[in-house]
């Protein structure tokens, strides 16, 4: 126990034997023998019990036997009536019951304590007991629990309520039992003690949450009466109301009185309630569109509070609002600017990022300066938040790129973890790729960064970027030095990336070729296999003097999905004959290679940052996870189809899958039957996959298939695969195979489609069929259209001009078209990209400014493996957009098909 | 984008920590599975301590968790919740924890006396939060419910001879120093 007047020298304190230093279970187990002595020595036993607790708390893990030994030793202490010691015993029981065996034996002792006279440990006994019992035993003690819930001692009532809540959340059986105590819990909710109110309200909600009507009643009762004294309880009520409003909003019927309640809570005298309701109102805004004003002004007041936490809550909420409604936050700009210099860095950072979101072109400079003044002091997570705010800003004000660029470059040079550096590099790469004006300076900054970069991953990415973008700049030669430095100084992974980057310069810039070859020759002596192999490979390709080879084997990379390639190679190897060489064309082309996918993701995020709340925060929370996961998901979608289709023999026989379209809905989403269609293109066939869901719970559909017809085209329906049975809400799939007419000219067609099936009535509850006899029925679906895009895969050609020239004039087809439906060039370009299903190159999918002429470059692979390049010259005139189309490919039929489909 | 509908939830507290002046764990209570392994917990504690021990402020977002903190001499108190939880609730819990400990330790609010009263501190934590639900936010009730004898109430007879001697020695030293 503490005693007054102790003013010790600190050094003495440290050395004066700390009883808790170096505890281990063997010594503590020894000491625990004292528990067996009678009469119990309260002081010594308390000390040992504390030691046990401390040891467990330090993370010492006990075996089941050790835990059980401790447990039984401790039960001896029930002899003592000392309140403090008994409480420590409860705590030890709670800790040990997770591991020890036979803990059930203390039930009766605890039950006695729970109902006994000693006020000091009744509540604690309830907590310990409820941790041990299972629902079965709970039934036998129901009576005591009910009594405890309405006990006049708030400590006991609270303990009983909270323990009931644990039981109810732990298991369904527990919940059923606790539900029977409804009346007692109701009574507790009117208890004078605020904490009891809070716990009772929470428990009431927990047992009724499955039943919306009951929840509404609960809310009505407590919002009307205003007899909740506890701020915590009111906060809980606010959460319930907010959830109800959101659910109602989904159905389009919002009770106005609920809103009035939330707004009245803004005037509550407790700050916690005020904040909870402001937060709720701000979040509700998206679904309802009520005025944010009152909530914002409350938050504005919070901004000037003396308590850091309150300022933090205000600025955090404002930053969320700023993502969706920057205008609403502008009113607080002055207050936010004051917070930039806040001593709490978290607050300052959030204030800055919020201001960056609401800021305009004029004050950006000043803000950026302020940020750089405190970047050093904040945590990496917040740095990432700041970087993503800057990234969004770069897109908002492309003209400010010099400022941003120098700012990002300064940050690159500063200390920081991998996540932070990665965010910076991602941002810089996007700027370099998107903003022509910023390209040169951005590349220079990145070059300087890799001079001293500890993260292999980032160095490799930057080198790849240099290889891609560097050769297209005005002075490609100046980057070679940076790249070659890496070859001299770095580890194998970076060296091989550098070799690849150099080769790209050699392939793209004829005047650098001889120099590059000298450097590559040096790399051929490298000690690492990979580096040597790459250098040799590139050297001989460059030495061949054939620009076609450069294009195919240096500048462009593998455009197939790795998983499919592996599968194709395995099939080839297991095929024993090996008469024919492996044909790369048999591998399905992956829609887009990984790097592009990655960029897309980031770009989406930027767009998202403007439109979405909460994303930013999620990023701050899980910066690592977001990067990789969606990419792999996108890649595997195609592979998933392949796997799925391979299992069906009729379809597997068609050969390798060329392309799968995105699903299109053929019905409204809320009809009896929901059908969507995915088009799988093979070399000579198209398989239409129909994913059907039966939303009627009193029907089972059998022999489901889709009848398709295309009277106007030469496509022939070649068979269907039925879905044998389609119960309620379980997705089923049926396929229809269509043969593509052998003459390539007819690439497009429209199919009318009808869902045909046999209906059998069934019992909605059990799903059992009531009558074996069904009747035929059908359901008309929307038309399925096969377009040019279904025959085309996107590919990336790094050097369009070279590839274009290689085909030569002979393989070209032309056509001129007037497209009067488009009023500006960008619309026309967007539609053309969608129509062709090809990859736009050199950023030609974006029309800079409001220009009247534009050149769109597209590349792709036509079904059957024919590379296709397309040039569209677009001119805007008074009557609409006129287009000159040039198509070059290996096959005149393909050209014809493309021209025809226009 | 609509916000995902947030389920009202009483399980607000993820952890309560008390660390010493070097960032070592004195008491740590984790109430959910955010950090299932002791090793992960210790890494988190180390990380948290490094970011909060020198800077001013009382709230920080770390690993996506909101942490409120307060310190005195060589004792650091933390209450941790998810980033969705009402931060003011965390602060209130922290204040309660801090004040309760203060009441137990009296004037000697530092690690050594803290360790001497470890049993009582465990009881306090037990009263404030139960498996993540806030049980009490008023430090007076906590002290009363944990039935802790604070120094004023402690009868002299309860002190051991050694304690009395030590106390006498300290006072003598203090008077000599003057």
Tell me: pLDDT of A5 over 70.
no
Contacts of B111 in chain A (CB under 8 A): 13
| Lowest-confidence pick of A26-35, A323-332, A877-886 | A323-332
pLDDT tens by residue, A211-256: 888 888 888 888 886 667 888 988 999 999 888 888 887 777 777 7
Task: Say if the Cβ atoms of A8 and B170 lie within 8 Å.
Answer: yes
For an interface test with A, the pick among B4, B124, B147, B148 (most A C-beta atoms closer than 10 Å) comes out as B147
pLDDT band at A394 (very low <50, low <70, confident <90, very high): confident
Rounded-to-integer distance, Cα A872 and Cα A877, Å: 16
Q: What is the pLDDT of residues A775-793, one digit of tens each?
A: 888 888 888 888 888 888 8
Test A232 with B89 for CB contact under 8 angstroms: yes
User: CA-CA distance, A352 to A407, in Å (whole number)?
Assistant: 15
Q: What's residue B14's pLDDT?
A: 92
Domain definitions of chain A by residue range: 371-559, 560-640, 650-786, 791-901
B88: distance to nearest CA of chain A, Å? 6
Q: Give the integer Cα–Cα distance in Å for A737 and A651.
A: 8
**Is residue A758 a contact partner of residue A775, using CB atoms and an 8 Å limit?**
yes
3-class DSSP state of B93: helix
Q: pLDDT at residue A857 above 50?
A: yes
Percent residues over pLDDT 70 in chain A: 88
Q: Do A57 and B88 touch (CB under 8 A)?
A: no
> In a 10 Å sphere around its CB, with 0-12 CB exposed, 13-18 middle and 19+ buried, how is residue A824 labelled?
middle
Whole-number percent of chain A with pLDDT over 90: 3
Residues of B in contact with A167 (CB under 8 A): none
CATH code of the domain occupying A371-559 = 1.25.10.10
Q: Which of A3, A195, A209 sits opposite B163 (nearest CB)?
A: A3
pLDDT single digits (tens) A348-368 = 878 888 887 777 667 777 777
The rounded distance, in Å, linking the Cα atoms of A106 and A91 is 13
Least confident of A195-209, A467-481, B48-62: B48-62
Average of pLDDT values for A796-821? 80
CA pair distance A739, B77, nearest whole angstrom: 72
Comparing CB atoms, the residue among A3, A347, A377 nearest residue B151 is A3
B136 touches chain A (CB under 8 A): yes
Pick from A286-300, A578-592, A755-769: least confident: A578-592
pLDDT tens for residues A129-176?
888 888 788 888 888 888 899 888 888 999 999 999 998 888 888 888
In this complex, the residue of B28, B130, B145 whose CB is nearest that of residue A57 is B28
In this prediction, residue B97 has a pLDDT band, given cuts at 50, 70 and 90, of very high
Tokens representing A142 are 């129901």
**Cβ(A358)–Cβ(A597) under 8 Å?**
no
Q: Residues A366-371: what's their mean pLDDT?
A: 75
pLDDT digits (tens, 9 = 90+) for A427-436: 888 888 777 7
Average pLDDT of the residues in A303-316:
89
Shortest CA distance to B121 belongs to which of B141, B145, B97?
B97
**pLDDT score, position A444:** 87
Query: What dotted CATH number matches A650-786?
Result: 2.60.40.1480
Q: Do B118 and A622 touch (CB under 8 A)?
A: no
pLDDT at residue A286 in the model: 58
Taking residues A470-494, what's their average pLDDT? 86
Q: Does the structure show a pLDDT above 70 at A693?
A: yes
- State mean pLDDT over A309-324: 86
- Give the number of other CB atoms < 10 A from CB of residue A533: 14
> Which domains does chain B show, CATH number per domain?
13-153 (3.30.450.60)
**ipTM exceeding 0.95?**
no
The tokens for A864 are 């059957």
Report CB contact under 8 Å: A308, B59. yes
DSSP A34: G
Does B167 contact A5 at a Cβ distance shorter than 8 Å? yes
Q: What is the pLDDT of residue B161?
A: 63
CB contact under 8 A, B117 and A53: no
Instruction: Measure A673 CA to nearest chain B CA, in Å.
Output: 27
- Band of pLDDT at residue B128, cut at 50, 70 and 90: very high
Give yes or no for residue A614 having a pLDDT over 70.
Answer: no
Q: What is the mean pLDDT of residues A390-419?
A: 79
Q: Distance between CA A796 and CA A790 in Å, rounded?
A: 18
Query: What pLDDT is recorded for position B95?
Result: 93
Structure confidence at residue B150 (pLDDT): 47
pLDDT at B94: 94
Query: Which of A4, A88, A344 is facing B57, going by the closest CB pair?
Result: A344
Of the spans A555-564, B1-10, B115-124, B151-160, which averages the highest pLDDT?
B115-124
Contact (CB<8Å) B113/A276: no
Structure token digits, residue A252: 């389009």
Regarding predicted confidence, which is higher, B118 or A585? B118
Instruction: Please give the Cα distance from A387 to A573 (Å, whole number).
Output: 49
Distance, CA of A299 to CA of B72 (rounded, Å): 31
A429 CA: distance to closest CA in chain B (Å): 26
CA distance, residue B52 to nearest chain A CA (Å): 10
pLDDT surpasses 80 at B160: no
pLDDT, tens digit (0-9, with 9 covering 90-100), for A86-112? 888 888 888 888 888 888 888 888 888
Calculate how close chain B gets to A195, using CA atoms only, in Å: 7
Closest CA to A138 of A119, A166, A157: A166
- Which B residues 56-95 touch A at CB under 8 Å? 56-64, 68, 83, 86-92
What letter would DSSP give residue A500?
H
Residue of A6, A276, A339 to mutate, testing the B interface (most B Cβ within 10 Å of its Cβ): A6
Look at residue A495 and give its three-state secondary structure.
Answer: helix
Among chain A residues, the shortest Cα distance to B112 is held by: A13
> Testing the interface with B: which of A113, A230, A233, A309 to mutate, by most B Cβ within 10 A?
A309
**B122, B126, B130, B134: CA torsion to nearest 10:** -110
Q: Which CATH superfamily is domain A791-901 in?
A: TATA-Binding Protein (3.30.310.10)
pLDDT category, A669, cuts 50, 70, 90? Answer: confident
Q: Share the mean pLDDT of chain A.
A: 79
Residue whose tokens read 């109301």: A241
- What are the tokens at A589? 């082309």
Q: Once rounded to an integer, what is the mean pLDDT over residues A523-527?
A: 86
Report CB contact under 8 Å: A1, B107.
no
Chain A CB contacts of B120 under 8 Å are 84
Q: Do A614 and B59 touch (CB under 8 A)?
A: no
> What is the pLDDT, as a whole number, of residue B15?
93
For residue A556, the surrounding DSSP H or E stretch is none
């Amino acid at each position: 126990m503490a005693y007054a007047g102790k003013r010790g020298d600190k050094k003495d304190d440290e050395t004066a034997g700390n009883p808790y230093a170096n505890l281990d279970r063997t010594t503590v187990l020894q000491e625990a023998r004292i528990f067996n002595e009678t009469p119990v020595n309260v002081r010594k036993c308390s000390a040992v019990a504390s030691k046990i607790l401390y040891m467990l708390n330090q993370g010492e893990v006990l075996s089941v036997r050790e835990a059980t030994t401790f447990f039984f030793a401790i039960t001896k202490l029930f002899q003592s009536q000392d309140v403090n010691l008994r409480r420590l015993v409860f705590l030890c029981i709670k800790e040990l019951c997770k591991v020890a065996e036979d803990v059930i034996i203390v039930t009766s002792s605890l039950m006695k304590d729970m109902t006994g006279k000693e006020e000091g440990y009744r509540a604690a006994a309830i907590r310990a007991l409820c941790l041990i019992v299972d629902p079965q035993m709970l039934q036998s003690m129901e009576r005591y629990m009910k009594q405890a819930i309405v006990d006049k001692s708030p400590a006991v009532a609270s303990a009983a309520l909270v323990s009931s809540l644990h039981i109810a959340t732990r298991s369904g059986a527990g919940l059923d039992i606790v539900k029977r105590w409804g009346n007692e819990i109701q009574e507790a909710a009117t208890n004078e003690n605020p904490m009891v109110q809070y716990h009772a309200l929470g428990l009431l909600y927990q047992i009724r949450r499955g039943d919306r009507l009951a929840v509404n009643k609960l809310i009505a009762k407590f919002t009307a009466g205003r007899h909740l004294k506890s701020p915590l309880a009111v906060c809980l009520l606010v959460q319930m109301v907010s959830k109800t409003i959101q659910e109602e909003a989904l159905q389009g019927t919002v009770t106005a009185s609920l809103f009035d309640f939330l707004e009245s809570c803004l005037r509550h005298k407790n700050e916690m309630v005020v904040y909870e309701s402001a937060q709720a109102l701000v979040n509700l805004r998206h679904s309802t569109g009520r005025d944010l004003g009152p909530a914002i002004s409350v938050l504005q007041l919070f901004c000037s509070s003396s308590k850091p936490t309150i300022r933090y809550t205000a600025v955090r909420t404002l930053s969320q609002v700023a993502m969706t409604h920057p205008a609403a936050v502008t009113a607080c700009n002055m207050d936010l600017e004051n917070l930039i210099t806040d001593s709490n860095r978290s607050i300052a950072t959030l204030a800055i990022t919020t201001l960056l979101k609401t800021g305009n072109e004029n004050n950006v400079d000043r803000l950026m300066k302020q940020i750089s003044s405190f970047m050093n002091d904040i945590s990496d997570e917040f740095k990432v938040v700041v970087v993503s705010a800057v990234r969004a800003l770069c897109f908002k004000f492309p003209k400010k790129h010099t400022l941003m660029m120098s700012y990002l470059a300064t940050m690159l040079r500063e200390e920081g973890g991998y996540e932070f550096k990665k965010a910076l590099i991602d941002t810089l790469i996007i700027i370099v790729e998107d903003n022509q004006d910023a390209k040169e300076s951005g590349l220079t900054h990145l070059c300087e960064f890799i001079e001293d970069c500890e993260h292999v991953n980032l160095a490799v990415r930057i080198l790849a970027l240099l290889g891609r973008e560097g050769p297209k700049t005005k002075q490609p030669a100046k980057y070679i030095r940076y790249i070659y430095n890496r070859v001299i100084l770095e580890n194998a992974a970076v060296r091989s990336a550098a070799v690849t980057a150099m080769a790209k310069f050699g392939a793209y810039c004829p005047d650098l070729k001889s120099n590059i070859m000298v450097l590559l020759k040096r790399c051929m002596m490298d000690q690492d296999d990979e580096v040597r192999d790459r250098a040799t490979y590139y050297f001989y390709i460059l030495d061949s003097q054939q620009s076609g080879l450069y294009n195919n084997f240096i500048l462009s990379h593998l455009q197939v999905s790795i998983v499919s390639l592996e599968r194709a190679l395995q099939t080839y190897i297991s095929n024993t004959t090996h008469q024919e060489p492996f044909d790369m064309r048999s591998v399905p082309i992956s829609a887009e290679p990984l790097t592009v996918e990655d960029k897309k993701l980031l770009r989406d995020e930027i767009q998202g940052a403007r439109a979405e709340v909460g994303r930013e925060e999620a990023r701050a929370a899980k910066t690592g996870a977001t990067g990789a996961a969606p990419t792999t998901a996108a890649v595997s979608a195609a592979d998933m189809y392949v796997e799925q289709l391979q299992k069906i023999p009729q379809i597997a026989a068609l050969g390798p899958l060329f392309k799968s379209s995105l699903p299109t809905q053929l019905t409204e989403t809320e009809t009896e039957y929901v059908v969507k269609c995915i088009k799988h293109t093979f070399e000579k066939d198209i398989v239409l996959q129909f994913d059907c869901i039966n939303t009627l719970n009193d029907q089972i559909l059998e022999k489901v298939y889709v009848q398709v017809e295309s009277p106007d085209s030469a496509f022939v329906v070649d068979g269907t695969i039925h879905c044998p049975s389609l119960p309620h809400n379980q997705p089923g799939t049926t396929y229809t195979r269509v043969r593509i007419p052998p003459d390539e000219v007819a690439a497009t067609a429209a199919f009318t489609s009808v869902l045909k099936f046999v209906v059998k009535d069934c019992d909605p509850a059990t799903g059992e069929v009531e009558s074996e006899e069904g009747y035929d029925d059908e359901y008309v679906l929307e038309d399925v259209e096969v377009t040019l895009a279904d025959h085309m895969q996107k590919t990336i050609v790094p050097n369009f001009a070279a590839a274009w020239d290689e085909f030569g004039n002979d393989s070209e087809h032309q056509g001129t078209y007037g497209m009067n439906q488009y009023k500006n060039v960008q619309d026309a370009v967007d539609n053309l990209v969608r129509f062709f299903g090809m990859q736009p190159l050199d950023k030609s999918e974006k029309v800079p400014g409001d220009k009247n002429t534009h050149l769109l470059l597209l590349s792709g692979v036509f079904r059957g493996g024919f590379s296709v390049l397309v040039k569209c010259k677009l001119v805007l005139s008074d009557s609409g957009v006129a287009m000159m189309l040039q198509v070059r490919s290996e096959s005149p039929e393909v050209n014809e098909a493309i021209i025809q489909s226009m | 984008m609509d916000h995902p509908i947030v389920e009202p939830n009483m399980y607000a507290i993820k952890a309560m920590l008390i660390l010493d002046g070097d960032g070592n764990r004195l008491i740590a209570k984790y109430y959910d599975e955010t950090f299932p392994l002791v090793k992960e917990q210790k890494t988190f504690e180390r990380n948290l301590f490094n970011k909060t021990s020198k800077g001013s402020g009382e709230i920080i977002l770390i690993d996506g968790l909101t942490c409120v903190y307060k310190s005195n001499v060589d004792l650091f108190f933390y209450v941790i919740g998810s980033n969705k939880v009402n931060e003011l609730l965390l602060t209130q819990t922290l204040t309660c924890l801090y004040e309760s400990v203060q009441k137990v330790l009296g004037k000697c609010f530092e690690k050594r006396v803290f360790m001497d009263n470890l049993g009582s501190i465990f009881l306090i934590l037990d009263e404030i939060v139960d498996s993540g639900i806030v049980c009490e936010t008023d430090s007076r009730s906590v002290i009363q419910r944990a039935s802790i004898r604070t120094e004023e109430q402690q009868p002299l007879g309860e002190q051991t001879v050694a304690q009395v001697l030590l106390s006498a020695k300290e006072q003598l030293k203090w008077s000599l120093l003057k």
